[in-house]
Structure 1
């Protein structure tokens, strides 16, 4: 099929920053795109060929959207999979598939999938209702501390909470959830695997992620990860095992824990371009967004090696600010060599909302990491007074 400068239409469910960055490459390849998002102010709106405002969880909205396009992909997992399944039954290529998304949308189902496929993961208990946690604690089948995770709709640090005492249970939503054993880990890692319709795969280098202690969001992504070569091999092999088990098409970001004794445990996955791969725009031969397109369109997968060391810094809204966004002191970081800001196009900031990122590239990893710390201290995402 001819995708370039043709009548072919690629549908994208979700119009956030991931979709916006995917559109950089669809425009470069002159591939027509149709995007649906619930927000009239979605970042994708300015760059796609056609924008439709609609509810991603509504069956009819997703189904009718799918009838307008020749191939459908996502930039967010929270979409109506029943509609995707019907579209697939009618012959529309959907990547990732509805089957893959069903397993991933629910964290409890996702964890059970790892257990069933002998993929190492942290021990956990599944609860139909949050109230069952109290019973488990009283019966001593569960003990403090543990990590509470909502089974559905957790995103960007939401739906996750460390439970150390009874008081931490206050305000927990009364819904399906899991209680996961707290793992004493020394690193959080990620590997992005690209897989095409024929099963060909390519892995990106292992990256190291540093998280904000309060927001539970990634602050820094460091590529390559500063870990032993044997740990790199373990992480990549487990990521490939996860990819094979899901039989996904497109990108799969596999987030992992490196334990104190260098075991690798899978935390969770995302079947799409991912925050842990943003560094690739400046630092890789083939960035993750182009690679996703190559995989879902059946084009040759690109080279995943890095050309230079890269550190990504997330730009999130500062605490205490909400309203029309202002990027304070952005000119100062733009004057620094190897510093590349990306602004997502969200007009309103609020505490910890992802508003952009900055990638720092350098031939020397230590120099890139030091510069990243300066960037983090300098630029602030605040609101206009």
Structure 2
């Protein structure tokens, strides 16, 4: 097969799409993107950019009809259009069937339950009143976590309810409510698969969250895990991507609880924040690997070549406007600090504006540099 003769369409023009484009530019592939505005991250660098709304049936259908393969960089795409494109002979990855499950966090949890994938206990609710009623009747106890079934992204759509005083935070939508897990660590990994059934699993990473923004603050690779946990995490990831019949990537987030139990939190069928370090720290980046998977290329080696720390560069609290980066010079002077700015013109509080990956043969030294970057590189106006 001549891969370069294949037209690949990607729905979404954000930072994930931009990094896909930048990573596989070396192959001169015919990658096309669609999103609402050319000012978005991909539109600034890719000439094959179509302005359109990936949530609208007509736009997705028109974009995909002349493509050989259509994939995504965000889940909130129009499923009906993808189903129609599949009927017309376009290859869709991830499959619309898997995407339907993953887009709905309630269906995700039901899938785990049906397939005996370890996850936290949960209940589904149609509205806030039903949640309050179960609390009053003693059928739901504090603390718990509420997640909107659809539409959550980058920390949005999640409410942590620890007591009656937090009830004002409840989300006014159909949701799932999960037991609050006594978390020892949060870990994530990326698994890849192609149409031949070949799989590759990246080593797990440890994630430290910014509690205010509910976003990853730091990511450490490799993760420090008890014996047997890494293998278990990789085995579960392979089982998930196989049973969901996904080609491309599946990012899997786990809780490791204080009793040593590994529980699946949620998954995403695309490139993911927990794999950004792979650009500098792995033999094959997650972005290249996703294209390999959806185009049924041989998958790349995923070995970690160096310890690494990734830190998200978020918009400063209470600051909005045209973006300006401060402290770049002092951070680069540290050495082995790899900065990635996403090309977003406007900064907003806690908005992902970029990331930095710090590599070092000594993980502790990389962590120290990452803290320096966190404290000195400011995303402001």
Could you say which residue in structure 2 is the equivalent of 1:337?
A: 335
Which deviates further from its counterpart, 99-108 or 45-54? 45-54
1:345-373 CA-to-partner distances (Å, cap 9, x unmatched) read 00100100000000000111111111111
* 1:255 paired residue number: 253
Could you say which residue in structure 2 is the equivalent of 1:103? Answer: 101
Query: Which residue is 1:31 aligned to?
Result: 29
How far apart, CA to CA, are the structure 1 residues paired with 2:29 and 2:247?
19
Residues 162-171 or 60-69, more deviating: 162-171
The worse-fitting range, judged by mean Cα deviation, of 212-221 and 365-374 is 365-374
1:206 aligns with 2:204: yes
Q: Which residue of 2 aligns with 1:168?
A: 166
**Structure 1-normalised TM-score?**
0.97
What is residue 186 of structure 1 aligned with on the other side? 184
Give the 5 Å matches for 1:1-385.
Answer: 1-4=1-4, 6=5, 8-170=6-168, 172-383=170-381
Does structure 1 conserve the Cα–Cα contact (< 8 Å) formed by 2:38 and 2:49? no
User: Using a 3 Å threshold, how does the CA distance of structure 1 residues 171 and 145 change in structure 2: closer, same or farther?
Assistant: closer
What SS does the corresponding residue of 1:340 show, helix, strand or coil? strand
Structure 2 CA distance for aligned equivalents of residues 63 and 215 of structure 1: 35
Distance in 2 separating the partners of 1:69 and 1:326: 38
Q: 1:171: how far off?
A: 5.1
Q: Is the contact between residue 131 and residue 174 of structure 1 (CA under 8 Å) also seen in structure 2?
A: no
Mean Cα displacement is larger for which, 357-366 or 60-69?
A: 60-69
Superposition deviation, residue 91 in structure 1: 0.8
The SS at the match of 1:43 is coil
Query: 2: CA distance between counterparts of 1:23 and 1:213?
Result: 31
Render the CA deviation track for 1:264-319: whole Å, top value 9, x for unaligned: 00000010010000000000000111111111111111100011001100000010
Q: 1:107 Cα deviation (Å)?
A: 0.4
Deviation, 1:172, is 3.2
Seen in structure 2, the aligned counterparts of structure 1 residues 290 and 299 have a Cα distance that, compared at 3 Å, is: same
Cα RMSD for the two superposed structures: 1.1
Write the deviation string for residues 26-64 of structure 1: whole angstroms up to 9, x where unpaired.
311100121111234210012223211111111111111
Mapped partners of 2:185, 2:300: distance in 1: 28
Q: C-alpha separation between the residues in 2 aligned to 1:39 and 1:112?
A: 36
Q: Size of the alignment, in residue pairs?
A: 381
Partner of 1:341: helix, strand, or coil?
strand
SS of the residue corresponding to residue 91 of structure 2 reads: coil
Q: Secondary structure at the residue paired with 1:333? A: helix
**CA deviation string 1:55-94 (max 9, x = no partner):** 1111111111111322101000010011101111111001
* Contact 1:32 1:48 (C-alpha < 8 Å) held by counterparts: no
Inter-partner Cα distance in structure 2 for 1:242 and 1:104: 11
What's the offset of the Cα at 1:185?
1.1
SS across alignment from 2:334: coil
* Conserved? CA contact 1:319–1:351, under 8 Å: yes
Contact 2:157–2:171 under 8 Å retained in 1: no
Report if the CA contact (8 A) 2:323-2:347 is conserved.
yes
Structure 1: how far apart are the matches of 2:129 and 2:324?
42
Q: Which residues of structure 1 form unaligned runs of 5+?
A: none
- Secondary structure at the residue paired with 1:45? coil
